[in-house]
Structure 1
Amino acid sequence: MAEVKAFRGVRYSWESMHGEEASQVVAPPYDVIDEAMLEELYQRHPQNVVRLDLNRRQASDSPENNRYTRARRYMFDWLAQGVMIVEPEPAIYVHVQEFEDEAGQVYRRQGFMALVRLADYEERVVLPHERTLKGPKADRLELMKATDANLSQIFFLYDDEEGDVDRPLYGAIEGEAAALDIRTEDGIRHQLWAVRDEAVQQAVQAGLKERPLLIADGHHRYETALAYREFRRQVAEEPDGDAPYEYVMGFLVNMHDPGLQVFPTHRVVHSVAGFDGEKLRAQLEEAGVYRVEELSRGLLDDLDALRERLEAAGGEYPSFVVGMVGGSLLLVQYVGGVDSPVFDEETPEEVRRLDVAVLHEAIFDRMLGIDRAAQEAKSNLGYVKGWAEARAALDEPGHQMVVFMNATPVEQVNRVCLSGGKMPQKSTFFYPKVLSGLVINLL
């Protein structure tokens, strides 16, 4: 099953930084950075990791000088200057994040960074749960080829209810001061320890060797790492099963960790030709597999009550709240069976039990005409994370409908993975994201 090992990470020289400087050089993952945030990160610090992970395009870009070649040049310049250093010996990096949810509840999520041997999905060692897009993978592959590095981690989950992996690893940092302890502008505290004890490392390896890993976040980056591995194998002078490119840097969390939180991702419908909210409502009511209840639009001013109403409904059946722009607010519950013709024939039973599958296959595709290709291209769909952002989306010009979602439970994600099925995109939002710039792995 899973094979993990310690590694000599590349990291910033935290010891030589002053005050809050360490918090100024890290960045969110590339896929949540928009143009405004990119500019802000560039201005925040001259050695912010975004110059490596998402170097901005320039009008003068050429094959010899572009965002990918600049990323490589920055990384090796910073190593030469001592801004970054290579760890003197292999380590497993424990990473703890403290954060609050929208209701103010405080959580503490603990995980660790290590190398994971790459495996094709067919081997059933690494299990995906979401579909991917071609565009991000092409971009990430060019960056990997230029830098020969994992600049950020794949977020994996493992099933360790007994604590075989967690006990020795997290016991090793008890009473030890963190090598890095920062708080980012979003209020999240990030701590990092380097565990160099070989006995502890071997215990982690042994604890995981009979377990598969589930990709929580980073499907595009994992599939890019597979493509990079094939590229390196093709140009290698001779096979080397233990070469650096046979591994990828991961952030691994026990799926039973009480701090592991999955938040919902809400859907915004726009630009659908001939969209008619009342027609959609009639279709839902006439289909015979939905229970449709009109809610007071006053609930849009009490999002806690709306969330509680949806969570209670989700405990009975796959459910979501459909808000028509300027129209009805509907609680929709799918009360049909898993054998209903509203699903594609190849959709596995475990996927059919999900509210996102009902929404994407039965409603977006069959009722609104947003087929899988349009969903992947985001031609008519947008995604927002928070409840307040989803509520605000109802007032934005050009939007037609907002669908408020429940979070997908981790155990449900695990069942889908084990079934071999895949969910629609943006089915899960594991919060918080893991920062880029904590540790880099050279290949």
Structure 2
Amino acid sequence: MAEILPFRGWRYHERFQKNMESLLSPLFDVVSLSQRRKLYQNPFNSIHLSVPDGSDAGDLIRRTLGKWKSSQTIIQDPVPGFYVYYQYFKLPGAGKTICRKGFVAHIRLYDWEDKVILRHENTIQNALDDRKNILEKSCFQASPTFGLYLDDENEISGFLDDAIADPIYDVEDYQGVREVMGLIHDAKVIRKIIRYIKGKQIILADGHHRYGSALAHKKAKRQQNENYSGKEGFNYHLMHLCSAKSEGIRILPTHRLVRKLGISDQEILNTANRYFQIKEVDEAHELEDCVQNKRHTFGLIFKNRAYRLVFLPEILHHEHSTPEVIKNVDVNILHLYFIDKVLGIPMDKQFTSPLIEYERNTNRCLSEVKEGDAQLAVLVGEIPMEQVIKVCKSGHTLPPKSTYFYPKLVTGLVFSSINESDFEFPYEVFQ
């Protein structure tokens, strides 16, 4: 099962400690253009190591790394450790503070067929190529992906709590989330955590493109290395690991915006009537509540009218080409029946189609349609964690952007290098 290692993280020099909040940035796939412009103004913000301002991201990151290392903007910790990472947050409209507990480690890269790292989403090739290029030229991982392990016993939470009691960082991020990080250097504790995770499968919750690009990079490097041992740095990947049973696991919906299609709203409704029960609603902003926790229910928003769509259950009885484990998943129904059959965008074209955009904010969906920038928006509900686990274990996948684990991890607290000079260490001491 999963093999993990502690690592010698690269972190901002202590002279930046008081300004850590100004150095954090959103992950590359969620940072907006307006956020980028603002963050680029700070020459030391972590955005320059994840989404640099220029055409060749790999070269830019490589050059920035050289400057930051030589000037000691970032320095490498002298000994390996696990970086305990807690996020304290509140959900919209809720008063209770929730804590998502986890730790950051190096994890061995496994092929999907090995069924050690389990995925639930498809990936887009262009995004894979972009991240692979960055890894090839920099050998640097600016932010961890997000993995979940099934933890009925909760055996290692005490070690994590002990480490977070004396944090190296305690800051607030752009989401209003409190980001706290501690360190585990105790070799005995590290050994116990390694042994515990070794018996687990890991569900890849977020970061499918970064993991996929790291896997492609590993395969390319292995072919080039005649003396391959399996211990090289390129065999490992930076991941934040969290118990799937944690109360801090929250999956929020990601809605779909559709640009101008060349077909009328009425034509869309006429075709949708074959697959959905359609009911017009008076207020579009009420649709978000209409779809939450209601199976096979979606909100359809046009510029001047809005509808609740409920998928006709009898259609599933005649659906034999889709695997049972995913054919009942709402987001799959949305893509297969509404986007494909109603809107006429085939499944195999959807993920690269310029007509489809993904938006988590409902108000933004409403304004985009109202102002005419999009022809329509489709609101979806949350996907239960239990359903994600079933899909992962089945080996099947869902469309991209099927899940939005909240809160997002941030970039800037700790970085990882898989360059051999940075990675090399007698890790046998932790066995």
TM-score in terms of structure 2 length: 0.91
Pairwise mapping of residues 221-300 of structure 1 onto structure 2 (< 5 A)?
Answer: 221-274=210-263, 276-287=264-275, 290-297=276-283, 300=285
Structure 1 residue 151 and structure 2 residue 142: aligned?
A: yes
State the partner residue of 1:17.
Answer: 16
2:168 is matched by which residue type in structure 1? A
The CA distance in 1 between the partners of 2:317 and 2:140, in whole Å, is 46
- 4+ long deviations beyond 4 Å: none
Structure 1 residue 49 and structure 2 residue 46: aligned?
A: yes
State the partner residue of 1:213.
Answer: 202
1:16 is matched by which residue type in structure 2? R
Cα 1:399–1:353 shift into 2, 3 Å: same
State the partner residue of 2:427.
Answer: none
- How far residue 81 of structure 1 moved from its aligned partner, in angstroms, is 1.8
Deviation sequence 1:237-284 (CA, Å, 0-9, x none): 40111111111010111111111111110111222122x333333333
State the partner residue of 1:394.
Answer: 369
SS of structure 1 residue aligned to 2:87: strand
The CA distance in 2 between the partners of 1:340 and 1:330, in whole Å, is 23
SS of structure 2 residue aligned to 1:178: coil
The CA distance in 2 between the partners of 1:171 and 1:203, in whole Å, is 15
Structure 1 residue 428 and structure 2 residue 403: aligned?
A: yes
State the partner residue of 2:80.
Answer: 90
The CA distance in 2 between the partners of 1:390 and 1:399, in whole Å, is 8
- How far residue 392 of structure 1 moved from its aligned partner, in angstroms, is 2.1
Cα 1:385–1:196 shift into 2, 3 Å: same
State the partner residue of 1:2.
Answer: 2
Aligned with 1:321 (options 288, 296, 299): 299
The CA distance in 1 between the partners of 2:233 and 2:198, in whole Å, is 19
The CA distance in 2 between the partners of 1:213 and 1:243, in whole Å, is 21
State the partner residue of 1:62.
Answer: none
1:33 is matched by which residue type in structure 2? V
> Percent of counterpart pairs with the same letter?
28
- How far residue 34 of structure 1 moved from its aligned partner, in angstroms, is 3.5
The CA distance in 2 between the partners of 1:26 and 1:90, in whole Å, is 23
Gaps of 5+ in 2: 419-431
The CA distance in 2 between the partners of 1:228 and 1:46, in whole Å, is 29
SS of structure 1 residue aligned to 2:409: coil
Deviation sequence 1:153-191 (CA, Å, 0-9, x none): 111111112212334x324326x3210111124311111
1:94 is matched by which residue type in structure 2? V
2:52 is matched by which residue type in structure 1? N
Pairwise mapping of residues 131-210 of structure 1 onto structure 2 (< 5 A)?
Answer: 131-167=122-158, 169-173=159-163, 176-210=165-199
Question: Are 2:297 and 2:308, in contact at CA under 8 Å, matched by a contact in 1?
Answer: no
How many aligned residue pairs are there? Answer: 417
Gaps of 5+ in 1: 59-65
SS of structure 2 residue aligned to 1:417: helix
Question: Are 2:26 and 2:174, in contact at CA under 8 Å, matched by a contact in 1?
Answer: no
- How far residue 107 of structure 1 moved from its aligned partner, in angstroms, is 2.0
1:126 is matched by which residue type in structure 2? I
Cα 1:294–1:55 shift into 2, 3 Å: same
CA RMSD of aligned residues (A): 1.9
State the partner residue of 1:360.
Answer: 335
- How far residue 337 of structure 1 moved from its aligned partner, in angstroms, is 5.8
The CA distance in 2 between the partners of 1:163 and 1:243, in whole Å, is 31
The CA distance in 2 between the partners of 1:240 and 1:351, in whole Å, is 39
Aligned with 1:311 (options 281, 292, 306): 292
The CA distance in 2 between the partners of 1:407 and 1:227, in whole Å, is 31
The CA distance in 2 between the partners of 1:74 and 1:381, in whole Å, is 34
- How far residue 234 of structure 1 moved from its aligned partner, in angstroms, is 2.2
Question: Are 1:4 and 1:208, in contact at CA under 8 Å, matched by a contact in 2?
Answer: yes
